[in-house]
Amino acid sequence: MSDFLKVKDISFRYPQYKYVKEKNIFNNFSFSLKKGEITLFLAPPESGKTTLSGILTSLVPRYTGGNLDGNIFIDGTDITEERAYNLITKIGIVFQNPEEQILTTEVESEIGFALEALGHDYDFIKNKTDDVLEKIGIAHLKGMNPSQLSGGEKRKLLLAALLALDPEIWVLDETFEEIDPQSRVSLLNLLRDLNKTVFILTSKMLDIYKKYCSRFFLYDGKELIEETKIPDTLDTSDTPNMQKNSFMAKAIETGLYLDTEKINPESKQSNGQDPGAENIFLKAENIYFKYDNGDFALNINDFYLKSGEIVVLIGKNGSGKSTFAKIISGLLKPSAGSGKIMIDDNGKLKERSSDELNKNVSYFFQNPDLQLFLPTVGEELAFGLKGSSKDKSEIKKLVNEAIDLFHLDNCDMPPALMSYGARKRLQAAIYYLLNKKIVIIDEADSGISFKDYAFIIKNIRSLDPVPAIMIISHDIKLSVGFADRIIIMENGTFVESDCEKKLTNLLDISTTGDG
């Protein structure tokens, strides 16, 4: 089979900015993709994955600046100097951050936008839109504003828009991490059946990729390793075995593949039933919520968080996980006449207002850009401390310590120039400094390596007192590794029966595709 996409000796350097060190992202970098293959490109955050996706689709350096040398061929034609809109039917992309790509205020118009620009008539666009919504599994989202969708639903919408265009090559930048396991398998099956050339860029080696990808690249920022066989999972204690498989050895070494069962060997899963009032810091009862312009309703009878524990909330995209998180953090109010949320007050649970909840709860948004709004890293870190009793010198000291602890570049770095993963570390550093009693981490594992994610959790748990942590994630294996309790959510409520069986089934789906 001949090469369909060929990258030959590319080198790239972004323009130099104040406070940003100039460096080569790639240096005489070469690889190729075969027609009809699903290929995985595995690399740590800040190694150039998103830059590479932009180079392949002619967005970089045309819209970012920078110097690019080398050639990129699609089916033998050099596209290096081609404009992105001329390649729309040849190569398409789903961005790492869907907020940067969604343009319209309705699901159907988002899919039809590019089709209309290509000159297709109304009937064609309507039929194509209905068809791809069904194939991607999001027909129920018709008529909705994309801003109201979950992170995973936004990614599915962008996949539907790409399917409507039907390009020959699909470039998917960190697309699957925020998609639930069942949908992930369905979409990978669809891509395989379409026989398209698919290039998946990711910071994590998920087991499910072994079933669907026929070729694997691992790039650590310097060296590119290619594996044409399915990489074996290793026993990390077996050093000789690790030496036999350089791909998996490098993946483990760089934190891109992790034996999550060793993260928390005393983890225990339950269905979330209340074992008693001991150490319960937050309790929610009879919470009901309904959005004004949708059919979805949240209905939670009982929920609790104990001091210092880790609870993981899992469920399909759109099941209400983020909505519930926003309610218990005070960002959304339950519907009128709904139940109450209580927080410990000197040994007694006391009902709290939304403002009081917000003072006690840190909430990491799925998208860090919805929480970062100041010009520099230093200002972002100091902002939440200004209302405290700390003086300027103490705040400056704490900010510098957080920069070192979370491996951020410097105080004066503009967050807008940082990578997506670095912005997530900044987000974590902000809430580390605020040191609240409950921390909600909403799909922060997307776009960062296992190593970075474990690092964030470890730092949060180093606080005194250790906060209760609620994690929202679609990585079932990761959840099992971290959790003291796992709660499954479906259609706005908690699953109360056969939880262990359903969890086992989800684990099988997420690792093998079978369930």
pLDDT in tens, 360-400: 999 999 889 999 999 999 999 999 998 888 899 999 999 99
The per-residue pLDDT for range 222-273, each reduced to its tens digit, is 889 999 888 875 544 444 444 545 788 889 888 898 765 445 433 343 434 4
Q: Which residues pair with 13 in a beta bridge?
A: 24, 67
In the chain, what percentage of residues exceed pLDDT 70? 93
Q: What is the pLDDT of residue 515?
A: 67
**Using alpha carbons only, how large is the chain's radius of gyration in Å?**
23
Q: Which residues contact 389 (CB under 8 A, 6 or more apart)?
A: none
CA 475 vs CA 20, 144, 481: distances in Å: 33, 27, 10
Q: Answer yes or no: is pLDDT of 482 > 90.
A: no
Question: Distance between CA 99 and CA 442 in Å, rounded?
Answer: 16
Mean per-residue pLDDT, 207-230 = 92
Quick one: pLDDT at residue 250? 87
Residue (of 472, 498, 470) closest to 304 by Cα position: 470
Cα separation of 145 and 130, whole Å? Answer: 16
Pairing outcome for strands 340-345 and 280-290: antiparallel
Cα(406)–Cα(281) distance, rounded to whole angstroms? 28
Measured over the CA atoms of residue 266, residue 270, residue 276 and residue 278, the dihedral's sign is positive
Asked if residue 200 lies in contact with residue 226, where contact means CB atoms within 8 angstroms, the answer is no
What CA–CA distance (Å, rounded) separates 89 from 93?
11
* Cα distance between residue 467 and residue 439, in whole Å: 7
Q: How far apart are CA 473 and CA 321, in angstroms?
A: 9
Classified as helix, coil or strand, 448 is: coil
- Number of C-alpha atoms within 13 angstroms, CB side, residue 436? 25
The residue length of the chain stands at 515
How large a percentage of the chain has pLDDT more than 90? 70
> What pLDDT does residue 124 have?
97
Residue 418, helix vs strand vs coil: coil
Q: Residues 106, 111, 112, 116: what is their CA dihedral angle, to the nearest 10 degrees?
A: 130
- What pLDDT does 184 receive? 96
Q: How far is CA 365 from the centre of its chain?
A: 10
For 141-157, b where at least 16 C-beta lie within 10 A, e where not — what string? Answer: beebebebbbbbbbbbb
**This prediction's pTM:** 0.91
Instruction: State residue 66's pLDDT score.
Output: 92
Distance CA 133, CA 161 (A): 9
Sheet strand arrangement including 348-351: 297-306, 280-290, 340-345, 348-351
Over residues 265-312, the pLDDT tens digits come to 333 434 344 444 568 999 999 999 998 877 789 999 999 999 999 999
Q: In three state form, how does the secondary structure of 350-367 look?
A: EECCHHHHHHHEEEECCC
Cis peptide bond N-terminal to 465, omega within 30:
yes
Nearest to 233, CA basis, from 247, 218, 219, 212: 247
Residues of 443-464 as b/e, b for ≥16 C-beta within 10 angstroms? Answer: bbbbbbbbbbbbbbbebbeebe
Query: What is the rounded distance in angstroms from the CA atom of residue 72 to the CA atom of residue 65?
Result: 18
Q: Tell me what pLDDT residue 1 has.
A: 58
Detail the DSSP E strand segments found in 329-426: 340-345, 348-351, 361-364
Task: Give Dmax (Cα) for the chain.
Answer: 71
Report which DSSP code applies to 446.
T
Sheet holding 361-364, edge to edge: 361-364, 438-442, 468-472, 310-315, 485-490, 493-494
Mean pLDDT, the chain, rounded, equals 89
Q: Which of 131-135, 291-295, 432-436, 449-453 has the lowest mean pLDDT?
A: 291-295
CB neighbours of residue 354 within 10 Å = 15
Residue 274 or 497, more confident: 497
What value does the mean pLDDT take over residues 214-228? Answer: 92
Mean pLDDT of 319-342: 91
Q: What is the pLDDT of residues 100-130, one digit of tens each?
A: 999 999 999 999 999 999 999 999 999 999 9
pLDDT for the residue numbered 259: 61
Angle between helices 122-136 and 151-165 (to 10 degrees): 130
Q: Over 70: is that where the pLDDT of 401 sits?
A: yes
pLDDT at residue 510 in the model: 87
Query: Which of these, 49, 92, 90, lies nearest to 201 by C-alpha position?
Result: 49
Peptide bond before 61: cis, by omega within 30 degrees of 0?
yes
CA torsion 173-178-183-187 (nearest 10°) is 0
Q: What is the pLDDT of residue 268?
A: 40
Q: Which of 294, 283, 340, 304 is nearest to 492 (CA)?
A: 294
Q: Which pLDDT score is estimated for 237?
A: 47
Comparing 157 with 269, the larger pLDDT belongs to 157
Please give the torsion angle defined by the CA atoms of residues 119, 93, 8 and 248, in that order, rounded to the nearest 10 degrees. -160
